[in-house]
Amino acid sequence: MTRAIARTLRDPEMLLGVSILALLVLVACVGPFVWRVDPLKVSVLDSLLPPSWKHPMGTDDVGRDVFARFIWGAQVSMGVALAVTIVGTLIGGLLGLIAGLLGGWVDLTLSRIMDAILAFPPLILAMAVAIGLGAGMVSAMIGVVLAAIPWYFRLLRGEVMRLRGMMYVESARALGASNMRLIRLHILPQTTSTILMQASSVFSFSIVTMAALGFVGLGIQPPVPEWGTMITEGLAYALTGQWWLGVFPGLGIFALAVAGNLIADRLRDIFDPKAGVGG
């Protein structure tokens, strides 16, 4: 653990990614206590004010403080992205594990299903699910999870098949190890690193996709502030000079997405320099 921290500190990209993430987490967690402004407080008199000391990110069309909403939005976005990532990992990973271990027609069927899911542009898929289940946070999350599952599935299935072919697994099996034991002792430790890698990418993906869904009104519903819906509001005012409404939430999404990608990339370089787009 300490070695990981030391390595992080020496690597500028990783450091940047982790710093951004840490900063935003800090803002999300500590923000409400430091910036004691009610994000829901409407005040028509104060509407559409540009950024100032009183309102660091300005106010929106009904006078709500954008910075307060930003903080809350940070909590929402990151919390949701985290939840989605974890659920996606568990389900996708589990399915991949099963497919890899059992092989045969279980593998074939599952793989085909995953291929079908992958045929849809992720945003479209999430939209479809959100529509089908009725717009709202949970449906949006389910949609994003569904879009993310095939990535984990492929990853874990690939790892399991690769490891199955390796000598030490063969010998363990020959000694009578059951599947469960194999999973616990041999496969999981090896795959944790790849899972972490993918998790960061999926995290970025969730952030952007949830925001996109919010943007079209399918995701988290107002008045809960979510960076995506805030950008939609910003759209209406973008061309009339009130730039702060759209720029700041987008900046938040952008920062999180970049952080997630940076971390994913560095993790990939550390754990498997040969895979994917190495530096």
Partner 1 sequence: MVRFLAERIASAVLTVLGASILAFLVLRALPTDPARLIAGPFAKEDVLAEVRAQMGLNKPLVMQYVDYITSFLSGDWGFSYGAGKPVLPLIAERLPASAELALFSFVIALVAAVAFAVLVSYSRSRILDGILRAVSFVSVGVPPFWIALLLLMLFFETLGWFPGPVGRGPAPQHAITGFYTIDHLLAGNVSGALNALWHLALPGIALALGSFGYLVRLLRANLLDVVHEPFVTVLHSKGVPPVTTHFRHILPNAFLPTLTAAGMILAQLIGGSVLVEQIFTWPGIGTLVIDGVTRQDYAVVQAFILLSALIYIVVNLAVDLLYGYVDPRVRRS
- The residues pairing with 65 across neighbouring beta strands, listed in sequence order, are 59
Spatial separation of the C-alpha atoms in residues 27 and 146, rounded to whole Å: 29
Q: Is 234 in the site for partner 1 (CB under 8 A)?
A: yes
Query: Binders of partner 1 among 135-164, rule CB under 8 A?
Result: none
Residues between 93 and 132 with contacts to partner 1, criterion CB under 8 A: 112-113, 115-117, 119-121, 123-125, 127-129, 131-132
| One residue of 212, 225, 226, 233 binding partner 1 per CB under 8 A | 212
Pick one of 104, 176, 189, 241: the residue that binds partner 1 (CB under 8 A).
Answer: 241
Of 86, 87, 193, 254, the one binding partner 1 by CB under 8 A: 254
Q: By CB under 8 A, name the one of 133, 177, 183, 188 that touches partner 1.
A: 133
Q: Which of 25, 35, 261, 271 binds partner 1 (CB under 8 A)?
A: 261
DSSP state, 218? Answer: S
What does the DSSP 8-state code read for residue 59?
B
Residue 116 or 185: the one with the smaller Cβ distance to partner 1 is 116
According to the binding rule CB under 8 A, does residue 8 interact with partner 1? no
**Does 15 participate in binding partner 1 (rule CB under 8 A)?**
no
Specify the residue for token string 């990973």. 93
**Min separation Cβ 143 and partner 1, Å:** 9
Residue 116 beta carbon to partner 1: minimum distance, rounded to whole angstroms: 3
Amino acid code (one letter) for 156: L
**In angstroms, what is the minimal distance from the CB of 141 to partner 1?**
15
Examine residue 231 and tell whether it contacts partner 1 (CB under 8 A): yes
Q: Is 215 in the site for partner 1 (CB under 8 A)?
A: yes
d(C-alpha 198, C-alpha 261), whole Å? 10
Answer for the pair 71, 35: CB distance below 8 angstroms, yes or no. yes
CA–CA gap between residue 90 and residue 148 (Å, rounded): 11
Q: Using the minimum distance from each CB to partner 1, give the nearer residue, 39 or 234.
A: 234
CA terminus-to-terminus distance, the chain:
24
Question: Applying CB under 8 A, which part among 73-81, 96-104, 153-161, 205-213 lies near partner 1?
Answer: 205-213
Query: Is residue 258 within 8 Å of residue 17, measured between CB atoms?
Result: yes
Residue 253, interface with partner 1 (CB under 8 A)? yes
Cα gap 13→200, rounded to integer Å: 14
279 close to 16: Cβ distance less than 8 angstroms: no
- The whole-angstrom separation of Cα 119 and Cα 98 is 22
- Helix axis angle, 227-238 relative to 66-102, nearest 10°? 130
Under the binding rule (CB under 8 A), the answer on residue 50 touching partner 1 is no
The closest alpha carbon to 77, from 40, 152, 27, belongs to 27
Burial of 221 (0-12, 13-18, 19+ CB in 10 A): middle
Output 137 or 182, the one with its CB closest to partner 1.
Answer: 137
Which residues sit at the interface with partner 1, rule CB under 8 A?
A: 13, 112-113, 115-117, 119-121, 123-125, 127-129, 131-134, 204, 208, 211-212, 215-218, 231, 234-235, 238-239, 241, 243, 246-247, 250, 253-254, 257-258, 260-262, 265, 277-279
